[in-house]
A and B are shown apart, each in its own frame.
Chain A
Amino acid sequence: MTPTPTTPAPSATEAAPAATPAPDAPAVHTAALALGDDALVLSHRLGEWAGHAPVLEEEVALANIALDLLGQARVLLSLAGDEDELAYLREERSFRNLQLVEQPNGDFAHTIARQLYFSVYQNLMYGQLAATDSPLAPLAAKAVKEVAYHQDHAEQWTLRLGDGTAESHERMQRGVDALWRFTGEMFAPVAGLDLDREALREQWTATVTAVLQKATLTVPEGPQSGAWTAGAGREGLHTESFGRMLAEMQHLHRSHPGASW
Protein backbone atom coordinates (compact mmCIF):
# COMPACT_ATOMS: atom_id res chain seq x y z
CA MET A 1 0.00 0.00 0.00
CA THR A 2 2.90 2.24 -0.74
CA PRO A 3 1.75 5.63 -1.92
CA THR A 4 2.55 5.84 -5.59
CA PRO A 5 2.30 8.57 -8.17
CA THR A 6 -0.61 6.72 -9.76
CA THR A 7 -2.75 7.38 -6.71
CA PRO A 8 -2.22 11.05 -6.00
CA ALA A 9 -2.92 11.80 -2.37
CA PRO A 10 -5.15 14.70 -1.58
CA SER A 11 -3.35 17.72 -0.22
CA ALA A 12 -3.53 18.36 3.48
CA THR A 13 -6.31 20.89 3.05
CA GLU A 14 -8.60 18.53 1.19
CA ALA A 15 -7.89 15.42 3.24
CA ALA A 16 -11.60 14.99 3.68
CA PRO A 17 -13.14 11.90 5.20
CA ALA A 18 -14.60 11.22 1.76
CA ALA A 19 -12.88 7.85 1.80
CA THR A 20 -15.40 6.54 4.27
CA PRO A 21 -18.35 5.07 2.39
CA ALA A 22 -21.43 7.24 2.51
CA PRO A 23 -24.31 6.08 4.71
CA ASP A 24 -26.18 4.90 1.63
CA ALA A 25 -23.21 2.99 0.22
CA PRO A 26 -24.02 -0.60 -0.69
CA ALA A 27 -23.90 -3.09 2.15
CA VAL A 28 -21.02 -4.84 0.44
CA HIS A 29 -18.88 -1.76 1.16
CA THR A 30 -19.64 -2.13 4.85
CA ALA A 31 -18.62 -5.78 4.70
CA ALA A 32 -15.47 -5.10 2.70
CA LEU A 33 -14.48 -2.34 5.10
CA ALA A 34 -15.03 -4.49 8.19
CA LEU A 35 -13.01 -7.43 6.85
CA GLY A 36 -10.43 -5.18 5.20
CA ASP A 37 -9.85 -3.27 8.43
CA ASP A 38 -9.46 -6.54 10.36
CA ALA A 39 -6.77 -7.65 7.93
CA LEU A 40 -5.02 -4.27 7.77
CA VAL A 41 -4.88 -3.69 11.52
CA LEU A 42 -3.72 -7.20 12.38
CA SER A 43 -1.15 -6.99 9.61
CA HIS A 44 0.27 -3.84 11.19
CA ARG A 45 0.31 -5.37 14.67
CA LEU A 46 2.15 -8.45 13.39
CA GLY A 47 4.58 -6.20 11.54
CA GLU A 48 5.51 -4.67 14.89
CA TRP A 49 7.20 -7.98 15.74
CA ALA A 50 9.90 -7.36 13.12
CA GLY A 51 13.17 -7.18 15.02
CA HIS A 52 11.57 -8.40 18.27
CA ALA A 53 10.44 -12.00 17.71
CA PRO A 54 11.96 -14.70 19.93
CA VAL A 55 13.66 -16.53 17.06
CA LEU A 56 14.49 -15.71 13.46
CA GLU A 57 12.04 -18.26 12.06
CA GLU A 58 9.19 -16.59 13.94
CA GLU A 59 10.29 -13.19 12.79
CA VAL A 60 9.90 -14.43 9.24
CA ALA A 61 6.68 -16.33 9.94
CA LEU A 62 4.90 -13.37 11.53
CA ALA A 63 6.03 -11.07 8.73
CA ASN A 64 4.74 -13.55 6.15
CA ILE A 65 1.37 -13.78 7.87
CA ALA A 66 1.29 -9.98 8.01
CA LEU A 67 1.99 -9.85 4.28
CA ASP A 68 -0.85 -12.26 3.50
CA LEU A 69 -3.20 -10.10 5.56
CA LEU A 70 -1.98 -6.92 3.89
CA GLY A 71 -2.70 -8.43 0.48
CA GLN A 72 -6.22 -9.32 1.61
CA ALA A 73 -6.68 -5.83 3.05
CA ARG A 74 -5.67 -4.20 -0.24
CA VAL A 75 -8.24 -6.14 -2.22
CA LEU A 76 -11.00 -5.60 0.34
CA LEU A 77 -10.38 -1.90 0.86
CA SER A 78 -10.22 -1.40 -2.92
CA LEU A 79 -13.74 -2.83 -3.06
CA ALA A 80 -14.85 -0.24 -0.50
CA GLY A 81 -13.06 2.79 -1.94
CA ASP A 82 -9.51 4.04 -2.43
CA GLU A 83 -7.17 1.78 -0.48
CA ASP A 84 -4.62 4.45 0.44
CA GLU A 85 -7.20 6.99 1.54
CA LEU A 86 -8.99 4.37 3.59
CA ALA A 87 -5.84 3.10 5.25
CA TYR A 88 -4.03 6.36 5.84
CA LEU A 89 -6.54 9.17 6.06
CA ARG A 90 -9.35 7.86 8.23
CA GLU A 91 -9.75 8.77 11.87
CA GLU A 92 -9.95 6.12 14.55
CA ARG A 93 -13.74 6.24 14.79
CA SER A 94 -14.09 5.40 11.09
CA PHE A 95 -12.27 2.07 11.37
CA ARG A 96 -14.52 -0.97 11.50
CA ASN A 97 -12.12 -3.67 12.66
CA LEU A 98 -12.70 -6.00 15.57
CA GLN A 99 -11.21 -4.81 18.83
CA LEU A 100 -9.45 -8.19 19.04
CA VAL A 101 -7.05 -7.44 16.19
CA GLU A 102 -6.03 -4.01 17.51
CA GLN A 103 -4.95 -5.37 20.89
CA PRO A 104 -1.25 -4.78 21.59
CA ASN A 105 1.07 -7.69 20.91
CA GLY A 106 1.97 -8.37 24.55
CA ASP A 107 4.39 -11.26 24.91
CA PHE A 108 4.72 -13.94 22.24
CA ALA A 109 2.08 -16.15 23.89
CA HIS A 110 -0.34 -13.23 23.92
CA THR A 111 0.19 -12.72 20.19
CA ILE A 112 -0.31 -16.43 19.56
CA ALA A 113 -3.59 -16.38 21.52
CA ARG A 114 -4.77 -13.50 19.34
CA GLN A 115 -3.67 -15.42 16.23
CA LEU A 116 -5.51 -18.54 17.35
CA TYR A 117 -8.80 -16.76 18.03
CA PHE A 118 -8.66 -14.69 14.87
CA SER A 119 -7.32 -17.23 12.37
CA VAL A 120 -9.94 -19.82 13.36
CA TYR A 121 -12.62 -17.15 12.87
CA GLN A 122 -11.18 -15.93 9.59
CA ASN A 123 -10.80 -19.44 8.20
CA LEU A 124 -14.43 -20.34 8.97
CA MET A 125 -15.75 -16.95 7.85
CA TYR A 126 -13.87 -16.93 4.52
CA GLY A 127 -14.91 -20.56 3.99
CA GLN A 128 -18.58 -19.62 4.27
CA LEU A 129 -18.16 -16.42 2.26
CA ALA A 130 -16.41 -18.24 -0.59
CA ALA A 131 -19.56 -20.29 -1.18
CA THR A 132 -21.82 -17.26 -1.57
CA ASP A 133 -22.38 -15.05 -4.62
CA SER A 134 -20.98 -12.01 -2.79
CA PRO A 135 -18.53 -9.78 -4.67
CA LEU A 136 -16.18 -10.71 -1.82
CA ALA A 137 -16.36 -14.43 -2.65
CA PRO A 138 -13.34 -14.57 -5.05
CA LEU A 139 -11.11 -12.97 -2.41
CA ALA A 140 -12.51 -15.28 0.27
CA ALA A 141 -11.86 -18.34 -1.89
CA LYS A 142 -8.25 -17.31 -2.33
CA ALA A 143 -7.59 -16.07 1.20
CA VAL A 144 -9.07 -19.12 2.91
CA LYS A 145 -6.16 -21.19 1.62
CA GLU A 146 -3.65 -18.74 3.06
CA VAL A 147 -5.43 -18.52 6.38
CA ALA A 148 -5.36 -22.31 6.75
CA TYR A 149 -1.60 -21.93 7.23
CA HIS A 150 -2.05 -19.08 9.73
CA GLN A 151 -4.37 -21.25 11.76
CA ASP A 152 -1.99 -24.17 11.64
CA HIS A 153 0.85 -21.91 12.81
CA ALA A 154 -1.24 -20.61 15.73
CA GLU A 155 -2.42 -24.09 16.72
CA GLN A 156 1.08 -25.57 16.73
CA TRP A 157 2.39 -22.75 18.93
CA THR A 158 -0.58 -22.96 21.27
CA LEU A 159 0.16 -26.66 21.78
CA ARG A 160 3.88 -26.09 22.20
CA LEU A 161 3.51 -23.25 24.71
CA GLY A 162 0.47 -24.60 26.56
CA ASP A 163 1.92 -28.08 26.91
CA GLY A 164 5.48 -26.80 27.40
CA THR A 165 7.21 -25.53 30.52
CA ALA A 166 5.41 -24.17 33.59
CA GLU A 167 6.40 -20.67 32.46
CA SER A 168 5.17 -21.06 28.88
CA HIS A 169 1.97 -22.69 30.10
CA GLU A 170 1.25 -19.84 32.46
CA ARG A 171 1.90 -17.21 29.82
CA MET A 172 -0.21 -18.98 27.20
CA GLN A 173 -3.08 -19.29 29.67
CA ARG A 174 -2.75 -15.62 30.53
CA GLY A 175 -2.97 -14.63 26.85
CA VAL A 176 -5.96 -16.87 26.19
CA ASP A 177 -7.75 -15.48 29.25
CA ALA A 178 -6.95 -11.83 28.57
CA LEU A 179 -8.27 -11.86 25.00
CA TRP A 180 -11.37 -13.98 25.60
CA ARG A 181 -13.58 -10.96 26.22
CA PHE A 182 -12.88 -9.70 22.70
CA THR A 183 -14.09 -12.87 20.98
CA GLY A 184 -17.86 -12.27 21.14
CA GLU A 185 -17.66 -9.50 18.58
CA MET A 186 -16.70 -11.94 15.82
CA PHE A 187 -20.21 -13.37 15.79
CA ALA A 188 -22.11 -10.09 15.59
CA PRO A 189 -23.99 -9.36 12.35
CA VAL A 190 -22.27 -7.26 9.67
CA ALA A 191 -24.29 -5.65 6.86
CA GLY A 192 -23.44 -7.26 3.54
CA LEU A 193 -22.05 -10.43 5.12
CA ASP A 194 -24.61 -13.15 4.65
CA LEU A 195 -23.20 -15.79 6.96
CA ASP A 196 -24.61 -18.54 9.15
CA ARG A 197 -23.43 -16.90 12.36
CA GLU A 198 -24.71 -19.68 14.61
CA ALA A 199 -22.68 -22.27 12.70
CA LEU A 200 -19.71 -19.91 12.81
CA ARG A 201 -19.93 -19.60 16.57
CA GLU A 202 -20.40 -23.34 17.09
CA GLN A 203 -17.50 -24.33 14.87
CA TRP A 204 -15.23 -21.65 16.28
CA THR A 205 -15.99 -22.71 19.84
CA ALA A 206 -15.49 -26.39 19.02
CA THR A 207 -12.16 -25.79 17.25
CA VAL A 208 -10.72 -23.44 19.88
CA THR A 209 -11.89 -25.66 22.72
CA ALA A 210 -10.25 -28.72 21.16
CA VAL A 211 -6.93 -26.91 20.67
CA LEU A 212 -6.88 -25.42 24.17
CA GLN A 213 -7.74 -28.75 25.79
CA LYS A 214 -5.07 -30.56 23.82
CA ALA A 215 -2.64 -27.86 24.94
CA THR A 216 -3.61 -28.61 28.58
CA LEU A 217 -5.05 -25.11 28.87
CA THR A 218 -8.30 -24.12 30.52
CA VAL A 219 -11.00 -22.78 28.22
CA PRO A 220 -11.98 -19.36 29.60
CA GLU A 221 -15.47 -19.17 31.04
CA GLY A 222 -16.01 -15.44 31.34
CA PRO A 223 -18.22 -13.33 29.09
CA GLN A 224 -17.07 -12.95 25.49
CA SER A 225 -17.69 -9.22 25.51
CA GLY A 226 -17.46 -6.51 28.13
CA ALA A 227 -20.56 -4.61 29.24
CA TRP A 228 -18.99 -1.34 28.05
CA THR A 229 -18.09 -2.42 24.53
CA ALA A 230 -21.47 -1.42 22.98
CA GLY A 231 -21.23 -1.99 19.22
CA ALA A 232 -17.48 -2.14 19.67
CA GLY A 233 -15.05 -2.12 16.75
CA ARG A 234 -17.61 -2.75 14.02
CA GLU A 235 -19.33 0.47 15.15
CA GLY A 236 -16.09 2.42 15.26
CA LEU A 237 -15.54 2.17 19.02
CA HIS A 238 -11.97 1.18 19.76
CA THR A 239 -9.67 0.56 22.69
CA GLU A 240 -7.10 2.97 24.01
CA SER A 241 -4.02 1.61 22.28
CA PHE A 242 -5.57 1.71 18.81
CA GLY A 243 -5.14 5.46 18.43
CA ARG A 244 -1.42 5.19 19.07
CA MET A 245 -1.11 2.36 16.57
CA LEU A 246 -2.91 4.42 13.91
CA ALA A 247 -0.73 7.44 14.61
CA GLU A 248 2.33 5.38 13.81
CA MET A 249 0.76 3.64 10.82
CA GLN A 250 -0.51 6.86 9.22
CA HIS A 251 2.35 9.16 10.13
CA LEU A 252 4.41 8.84 6.96
CA HIS A 253 1.52 9.25 4.54
CA ARG A 254 0.03 12.20 6.43
CA SER A 255 3.39 13.96 6.74
CA HIS A 256 4.46 13.35 3.15
CA PRO A 257 1.33 12.96 1.00
CA GLY A 258 2.08 11.12 -2.20
CA ALA A 259 5.53 9.98 -1.04
CA SER A 260 6.89 6.99 -2.89
CA TRP A 261 10.10 5.02 -3.16
Chain B
Amino acid sequence: MVTKAPQAPTATHTEPVGPSAAMAPTAPAESATAPAPTALEARLHALAGSVPDPELPVLSLAELGVLRSVRVGATGHVDVELTPTYTGCPAIEAMSADIEQVLREDGQDDVTVRTVLSPAWSTDDISAEGRRKLAEFGIAPPRPHAAEGPIPLTLTVRCPHCGSTDTELLSRFSSTACKALRRCVTCREPFDHFKEL
Protein backbone atom coordinates (compact mmCIF):
# COMPACT_ATOMS: atom_id res chain seq x y z
CA MET B 1 0.00 0.00 0.00
CA VAL B 2 1.35 3.36 -0.97
CA THR B 3 0.87 6.02 1.63
CA LYS B 4 0.20 9.47 0.32
CA ALA B 5 2.33 12.08 1.97
CA PRO B 6 0.46 15.36 1.99
CA GLN B 7 2.46 17.95 0.15
CA ALA B 8 2.88 20.65 2.70
CA PRO B 9 3.35 24.19 1.57
CA THR B 10 6.50 25.26 3.26
CA ALA B 11 7.81 28.27 1.42
CA THR B 12 5.44 30.67 3.14
CA HIS B 13 6.47 29.77 6.66
CA THR B 14 9.57 31.46 7.88
CA GLU B 15 9.31 31.00 11.63
CA PRO B 16 12.25 28.86 12.59
CA VAL B 17 11.66 26.49 15.46
CA GLY B 18 14.46 25.06 17.53
CA PRO B 19 14.15 21.74 19.35
CA SER B 20 15.98 22.93 22.38
CA ALA B 21 16.24 26.05 24.39
CA ALA B 22 19.97 26.03 23.76
CA MET B 23 19.33 26.78 20.12
CA ALA B 24 16.94 29.64 20.72
CA PRO B 25 16.39 32.50 20.18
CA THR B 26 14.97 32.40 16.73
CA ALA B 27 15.22 34.99 14.02
CA PRO B 28 13.60 35.38 10.63
CA ALA B 29 14.85 32.89 8.10
CA GLU B 30 16.66 34.02 5.03
CA SER B 31 14.27 35.68 2.66
CA ALA B 32 14.46 36.02 -1.07
CA THR B 33 15.68 39.56 -0.56
CA ALA B 34 18.65 38.55 1.60
CA PRO B 35 21.83 40.15 0.34
CA ALA B 36 24.27 38.01 -1.61
CA PRO B 37 26.86 36.34 0.61
CA THR B 38 30.11 38.21 1.10
CA ALA B 39 33.43 36.57 0.33
CA LEU B 40 33.89 35.83 4.05
CA GLU B 41 30.42 34.30 4.30
CA ALA B 42 31.05 32.16 1.25
CA ARG B 43 34.32 30.94 2.72
CA LEU B 44 32.77 30.14 6.11
CA HIS B 45 29.84 28.45 4.37
CA ALA B 46 32.26 26.19 2.53
CA LEU B 47 34.13 25.51 5.76
CA ALA B 48 30.99 24.64 7.73
CA GLY B 49 29.68 22.62 4.79
CA SER B 50 32.84 20.51 4.74
CA VAL B 51 32.10 19.11 8.22
CA PRO B 52 31.34 15.38 7.90
CA ASP B 53 27.97 14.02 8.97
CA PRO B 54 28.51 12.38 12.39
CA GLU B 55 26.57 9.23 11.45
CA LEU B 56 27.37 9.02 7.74
CA PRO B 57 30.93 10.39 7.69
CA VAL B 58 31.28 9.76 3.96
CA LEU B 59 28.93 12.70 3.45
CA SER B 60 29.65 16.33 4.22
CA LEU B 61 26.89 18.49 5.68
CA ALA B 62 26.82 20.42 2.39
CA GLU B 63 26.27 17.19 0.43
CA LEU B 64 23.55 16.15 2.86
CA GLY B 65 21.87 19.50 2.23
CA VAL B 66 21.32 20.43 5.89
CA LEU B 67 23.39 23.63 5.98
CA ARG B 68 20.96 26.42 5.20
CA SER B 69 22.94 29.63 5.60
CA VAL B 70 25.99 31.27 7.12
CA ARG B 71 25.71 35.01 7.82
CA VAL B 72 28.25 37.35 9.35
CA GLY B 73 26.89 40.36 11.23
CA ALA B 74 28.45 43.82 11.47
CA THR B 75 30.11 42.94 14.78
CA GLY B 76 31.63 39.77 13.39
CA HIS B 77 28.92 37.53 14.82
CA VAL B 78 28.54 34.37 12.75
CA ASP B 79 25.00 33.01 12.50
CA VAL B 80 24.62 29.50 11.07
CA GLU B 81 21.30 27.91 10.14
CA LEU B 82 21.08 24.15 10.17
CA THR B 83 18.05 21.99 9.44
CA PRO B 84 17.53 18.45 10.79
CA THR B 85 16.89 15.53 8.47
CA TYR B 86 14.31 14.13 10.90
CA THR B 87 12.78 16.19 13.70
CA GLY B 88 14.20 13.83 16.31
CA CYS B 89 17.57 13.29 14.67
CA PRO B 90 20.06 13.08 17.56
CA ALA B 91 22.96 13.89 15.23
CA ILE B 92 21.89 17.52 15.00
CA GLU B 93 23.57 18.38 18.28
CA ALA B 94 26.85 16.81 17.19
CA MET B 95 26.58 18.68 13.88
CA SER B 96 26.09 22.00 15.68
CA ALA B 97 29.06 21.36 17.94
CA ASP B 98 31.27 20.30 15.02
CA ILE B 99 30.38 23.41 12.99
CA GLU B 100 31.05 25.65 15.96
CA GLN B 101 34.40 24.01 16.50
CA VAL B 102 35.54 24.29 12.91
CA LEU B 103 34.53 27.97 12.78
CA ARG B 104 36.26 28.72 16.07
CA GLU B 105 39.41 27.08 14.80
CA ASP B 106 39.15 29.47 11.87
CA GLY B 107 39.25 32.36 14.35
CA GLN B 108 35.53 33.12 14.56
CA ASP B 109 34.89 33.66 18.27
CA ASP B 110 31.23 34.59 18.18
CA VAL B 111 29.30 31.74 16.57
CA THR B 112 25.66 30.73 16.93
CA VAL B 113 24.30 27.61 15.25
CA ARG B 114 20.52 27.61 15.09
CA THR B 115 18.18 24.83 14.05
CA VAL B 116 15.43 25.76 11.61
CA LEU B 117 12.59 23.50 10.48
CA SER B 118 11.12 25.41 7.59
CA PRO B 119 11.21 24.70 4.75
CA ALA B 120 11.36 21.06 5.75
CA TRP B 121 14.43 19.11 4.64
CA SER B 122 13.86 16.63 1.85
CA THR B 123 16.03 13.81 0.55
CA ASP B 124 15.95 15.78 -2.71
CA ASP B 125 18.33 18.18 -0.93
CA ILE B 126 21.09 15.54 -1.01
CA SER B 127 23.49 16.47 -3.81
CA ALA B 128 24.30 14.22 -6.77
CA GLU B 129 27.79 13.76 -5.35
CA GLY B 130 26.23 12.87 -2.00
CA ARG B 131 24.09 10.19 -3.63
CA ARG B 132 27.09 8.73 -5.40
CA LYS B 133 29.03 8.55 -2.13
CA LEU B 134 26.12 6.91 -0.32
CA ALA B 135 25.93 4.15 -2.93
CA GLU B 136 29.69 3.69 -2.79
CA PHE B 137 29.40 3.38 1.00
CA GLY B 138 26.84 0.56 0.60
CA ILE B 139 23.70 2.60 1.24
CA ALA B 140 21.14 2.78 -1.54
CA PRO B 141 20.50 6.51 -2.11
CA PRO B 142 16.98 7.95 -1.92
CA ARG B 143 15.08 8.14 -5.15
CA PRO B 144 14.07 11.62 -6.33
CA HIS B 145 10.50 12.59 -5.59
CA ALA B 146 8.06 12.98 -8.42
CA ALA B 147 7.02 16.60 -8.86
CA GLU B 148 3.70 15.73 -7.24
CA GLY B 149 2.33 12.72 -5.51
CA PRO B 150 3.02 9.90 -3.13
CA ILE B 151 6.23 8.60 -1.70
CA PRO B 152 7.27 6.01 -4.30
CA LEU B 153 7.51 3.22 -1.72
CA THR B 154 6.84 0.48 -4.18
CA LEU B 155 9.35 1.40 -6.87
CA THR B 156 12.53 -0.59 -7.18
CA VAL B 157 15.59 0.17 -5.11
CA ARG B 158 18.89 -0.90 -6.64
CA CYS B 159 21.28 -3.05 -4.59
CA PRO B 160 24.39 -0.95 -3.81
CA HIS B 161 26.55 -4.08 -3.82
CA CYS B 162 25.72 -5.90 -7.07
CA GLY B 163 23.47 -3.40 -8.83
CA SER B 164 20.51 -5.76 -9.07
CA THR B 165 17.07 -4.17 -9.07
CA ASP B 166 15.57 -7.31 -7.54
CA THR B 167 15.51 -6.23 -3.89
CA GLU B 168 12.98 -6.60 -1.10
CA LEU B 169 12.00 -4.60 1.96
CA LEU B 170 12.83 -6.19 5.30
CA SER B 171 11.85 -3.33 7.58
CA ARG B 172 10.74 0.25 7.08
CA PHE B 173 13.05 1.38 9.84
CA SER B 174 16.71 0.46 10.08
CA SER B 175 19.82 1.53 11.99
CA THR B 176 18.60 5.13 11.95
CA ALA B 177 15.19 6.68 11.36
CA CYS B 178 16.27 7.91 7.93
CA LYS B 179 17.02 4.43 6.59
CA ALA B 180 15.04 1.31 5.69
CA LEU B 181 16.47 -2.19 5.75
CA ARG B 182 16.36 -4.13 2.47
CA ARG B 183 17.83 -7.33 1.07
CA CYS B 184 19.06 -8.07 -2.42
CA VAL B 185 17.37 -11.14 -3.82
CA THR B 186 20.20 -11.64 -6.33
CA CYS B 187 23.29 -11.43 -4.10
CA ARG B 188 21.41 -12.04 -0.82
CA GLU B 189 23.19 -9.18 0.94
CA PRO B 190 21.15 -7.00 3.27
CA PHE B 191 21.64 -3.25 2.84
CA ASP B 192 20.37 0.09 4.10
CA HIS B 193 18.28 2.33 1.91
CA PHE B 194 18.12 6.05 2.60
CA LYS B 195 14.34 6.53 2.67
CA GLU B 196 12.69 9.24 0.64
CA LEU B 197 11.49 12.07 2.85
Which residue in A60, A131, A159 is a CB contact (below 8 Å) of B173?
A60
Q: Mark interface residues in B84-109 (1 if CB within 8 Å of A CB, else 0).
A: 10111110000000000000000000
- 0/1 interface trace, chain A 116-145, chain B, CB 8 Å (1 if under): 000000010011001101010111111111
Q: Does A69 contact B (CB under 8 A)?
A: yes
Please report the C-alpha to C-alpha distance between residue A155 and residue B9 in the assembled complex, in whole angstroms.
26
State the interface size on chain A (CB cutoff 8 A): 47
How long is the Cα–Cα vector from A58 to B151 in the complex, in angstroms? 22
Q: DSSP class of A's interface residues: helix, strand, loop or mixed?
A: helix
**Contact across chains for B6 and A123 when beta carbons are under 8 A apart:** yes
- Contact between A146 and B86, CB atoms less than 8 A apart: yes
Whether A68 sits at the interface, judged by CB under 8 Å, is yes
B21 interfacial contact with A, CB 8 Å: yes
B88 near A68: Cβ-Cβ < 8 Å: yes
Interface residues of B in 1-55 (CB under 8 A from A): 1, 3-6, 8-10, 12-13, 15-22, 24
Chain A's nearest CB lies how many Å from the CB of B140?
16
A71 touches B86 (CB 8 A): yes
Contacts of A130 in B (CB 8 A): 6, 8-10
Q: For A63, what are the chain B residues with a Cβ–Cβ distance below 8 Å?
A: 173
CA distance A70 to B19 in the complex (A): 10
Which A residue's beta carbon lies closest to that of B5?
A: A148
Of B70-78, B156-164, B174-182, the one with at least 4 CB within 8 A of chain A: B174-182
Contact B21–A82 (Cβ < 8 Å) = yes
Q: Complex formed: what's the CA distance from A75 to B174 in Å?
A: 24
| Bound Cα distance from A152 to B18, whole angstroms | 28
- Specify which chain A residues have a CB less than 8 angstroms from the CB of B15 in the assembled complex: 135, 137-138
Contact of B197 among A83, A127, A135, A146 (CB under 8 A): A146
Measured CB to CB, the closest approach of chain A to B27, in angstroms, equals 14
Q: Which residues does chain B contribute within 8 Å of A69, judged by CB atoms?
A: 88
A1-15 interface mask toward B, CB cutoff 8 Å, 1 = contact, 0 = none? Answer: 000101100000000
Bound-state CA distance A144–B4 (Å) is: 10
A141 to B20, CA, bound (A): 19
- Given A6-B21, A71-B86, check contact A141 B9 (CB 8 Å): yes
A148 touches B22 (CB 8 A): no
> In whole angstroms, what is the CA distance A57 to B121 when docked?
26
| Proximity string of chain A (33-65) to chain B, C-beta cutoff 8 Å, 1 when within and 0 when not | 000000000000000000000000110110111
CB of A225 closer than 8 Å to a CB of B: no
Q: Pick from A6, A58, A138, A155 the residue with the most CB of B within 10 Å.
A: A138
Cβ < 8 Å to B, chain A residues 157-184: 159
Among candidates B6, B22, B84, B153, residue contacting A152 with C-beta atoms closer than 8 Å = B153
Contact in complex: B21, A83 (CB < 8 Å): yes
| In the assembled complex, A201 has its CB within 8 A of some CB on chain B | no
B151-195 at interface with A (beta carbon < 8 Å): 151, 153, 170-177, 181, 195
A151 in the interface, Cβ–Cβ < 8 Å? yes
> B115 to nearest A CB, angstroms?
9
CB distance from A1 to the nearest CB of B (A): 9
Is B112 an interface position by the 8 A CB rule?
Answer: no
A159 to B3 Cα, complex, angstroms: 14
**Interface check B111, CB cutoff 8 A:** no
With the chains together, A150 CA to B90 CA distance in Å? 19
The 10 closest A-B pairs by CB, nearest first: A71-B88, A71-B87, A138-B118, A127-B6, A141-B8, A130-B8, A57-B171, A64-B173, A61-B173, A142-B120
What are 21 sample pairs from A and B whose C-beta atoms fall under 8 A apart?
A: A6-B21, A57-B181, A60-B175, A61-B173, A64-B173, A64-B177, A67-B86, A68-B86, A68-B87, A71-B84, A74-B88, A123-B3, A130-B6, A133-B12, A138-B15, A138-B17, A139-B17, A141-B118, A144-B6, A144-B8, A145-B8
B residues at A contact (CB < 8 Å) = 1, 3-6, 8-10, 12-13, 15-22, 24, 84, 86-90, 117-122, 151, 153, 170-177, 181, 195, 197
